[in-house]
Amino acid sequence: MFENLSTRLEKAFKTLKGQGRINDANVAETVKEIRRALIAADVNFKVAKEFTDRVLEKAKGADVIRAVSPGQMMTKIVNDELVQLLGGQTSDLQVKGSPCVILIAGLQGSGKTTFSGKLARHLKGQGRSVLLTAGDVYRPAAREQLKVLGSQVEVPVYSDDQNMDPVAIAQAAVREAKARGQQVVIVDTAGRIAIDEAMMTEIANLKKALNPTEILFVVDSMTGQDAVNTAKAFNDVLDFTGVVMTKMDGDTRGGAALSIKEVVNKPIKFVSNGEKMEALDTFHPDRMASRILGMGDVVSLVERAQATIDEEEAMRLQKKMAKNAFDFEDFLSQLQQIKKMGNMKDLLGMLPGVGNKIKDLDIDDNAFKGIESLIQSMTPAERAKPELLNGSRKQRIAKGSGRSVEELNRLLKQFNQMRDMMKTMNKMKGRMPGMPNMPGFPR
Ligand SMILES: Nc1nc2c(ncn2[C@@H]2O[C@H](COP(=O)(O)OP(=O)(O)O)[C@@H](O)[C@H]2O)c(=O)[nH]1
Ligand SMILES: [Mg+2]
């Protein structure tokens, strides 16, 4: 499911790889690629366009966080928009009324009867007493199918094989449930191959007579964008309360699932992914989005960075580096920012491609602790001017931090190397844009 879409989205983010910043040009290219990916997944054209417009808008206004790359930032933006596109929050089934009536609607073959059985099993698993109702009166096999499913999940089925009026049957089922003290009545109905007036009238009459708490529209996810038109037609007549996407185990490109909420503004409540009675899941927009992107870890990395990195502090440090004035105080501050994001192993593990490859590696967060305590034992003057550190000062610091003089010397050496590197980099930066000023260069 969604494999092609995932691959293409990943490709879209790659256009940002190696780019230092998000800018108008590279974002436009990425967004175009995302739109192509959505269209190829059979997402409704208008939905795809509006989606990418929103992504573009957000990307342009995005705060630049130095701790994450533009590709990671973009992944996070697309993820958030995907979650919204899929409905934002998980929408739970409402179970109220005595009994609570749940009406199942949809085209023939969409998976209504199968879903009715699954839903009965699901609700029974929550400790509710359920009555299934065979409301598809046109095919004898339909009532039989529901009875078989009912016995599989051990839920009683109300059926009146002589009666050809679905409304009368459903009303009788509700009376029976009341008499028996059953909490939920699920009404399976007949579908047609395509939208037709007789079917719409029948389902509308059922709605009027039963006043259901939930009307669930069942749709085959393999039908792609067509599903959108069907959903619209059903919603116009029924004003249904939720959507059930079936056959998500097939090789659906995902277009229906991604378009439907935007078009009818009704939440997807369940996904069905197999013929077995257990193959039913509550729909979670956030989980689905990270499944589509295959990059849930990057998303949480960006979230953590957003929550913890102090942008002003990062700017200040960068300015100090540019002036070759980076000192131990700054070093400490940088260490602390990194530490706030979590332990090193967790952070590394979140990067795509690293994942559990490092699970056996022993990454020592205590290495940081030693450095920290050494710096903390320095006086402010020493932190600002490491040159001050002579033999006796080193002795004092080693003693105060509980570390050795060798460790301190190692830290000093590394720190000096780092400063030299920054200096070299600053020099290079200073020279490069200055080319026209080079001696002998024609002005
Ligand atoms: N693979 C798969 N098959 C399904 C799923 N839901 C239903 N089916 C199959 O689709 C066919 C039609 O389902 P049915 O419930 O009879 O549809 P109805 O006409 O809407 O009642 C049956 O063969 C079901 O076994 C699903 O989630 N995955
Ligand atoms: Mg059926």
Separation of CA 74 and ligand 1 centre (Å): 38
Collapsing DSSP states into helix, strand and coil, what is residue 112? helix
Q: What is the pTM of this model?
A: 0.72
Rounded Cα distance between 192 and 109, Å, is 8
Ligand 1 mutation pick, 275, 277, 280, max ligand atoms within 8 A of CB: 275
The atom of ligand 1 lying closest to the CA of 106 is 20
Ligand 1 mutation pick, 113, 114, 119, 218, max ligand atoms within 8 A of CB: 114
- Across the chain, which has 443 residues, the per-10-residue mean pLDDT values are 83 79 82 92 93 92 70 87 94 95 96 98 95 93 95 97 95 97 97 86 96 97 88 96 94 88 95 91 88 68 67 74 81 74 59 52 67 90 91 94 92 84 69 34 28
What is the DSSP pairing of strand 184-189 with strand 214-220? unpaired
> Among 185, 195, 223, which Cα is nearest to 104's?
185
Residues near ligand 1 with C-beta < 6 Å?
106, 108-114, 191, 246-247, 249-250, 272-275, 279
Q: State the pLDDT at residue 70.
A: 81
The architecture CATH gives domain 310-429? Orthogonal Bundle (1.10)
Rounded Cα distance between 366 and 220, Å, is 54
Contact yes or no for 257/86 (Cβ under 8 A): yes
Fold of domain 100-283 = Rossmann fold (3.40.50)
Rounded Cα distance between 287 and 84, Å, is 12
**Residue of minimum CA distance from atom 7 in ligand 1:** 111
Residue 189 phi, psi (nearest 5): -130, 170
Separation of CA 47 and ligand 2 centre (Å): 31
Name, in order, each residue with C-beta under 8 angstroms of 138's C-beta and a sequence gap of 6 or more: 190
Separation of CA 91 and ligand 2 centre (Å): 25
Q: Delimit the domains of the chain by residue range.
A: 3-89, 100-283, 310-429
Q: Which ligand is nearest to the CA of 105?
A: 1
Q: State the pLDDT at residue 421.
A: 76
Q: What is the DSSP letter of 222?
A: G
Fold of domain 3-89 = Four Helix Bundle (Hemerythrin (Met), subunit A) (1.20.120)
Collapsing DSSP states into helix, strand and coil, what is residue 185? strand
pLDDT, tens digit, 9 for 90 and up, residues 1-13: 677 888 888 888 8
Contact yes or no for 293/82 (Cβ under 8 A): yes
Rounded Cα distance between 44 and 245, Å, is 16
Rounded Cα distance between 51 and 36, Å, is 12
Q: Helix crossing, 24-40 with 45-61: angle to 10°? A: 160
Separation of CA 84 and ligand 2 centre (Å): 32
Collapsing DSSP states into helix, strand and coil, what is residue 365? coil
Contact yes or no for 368/403 (Cβ under 8 A): no
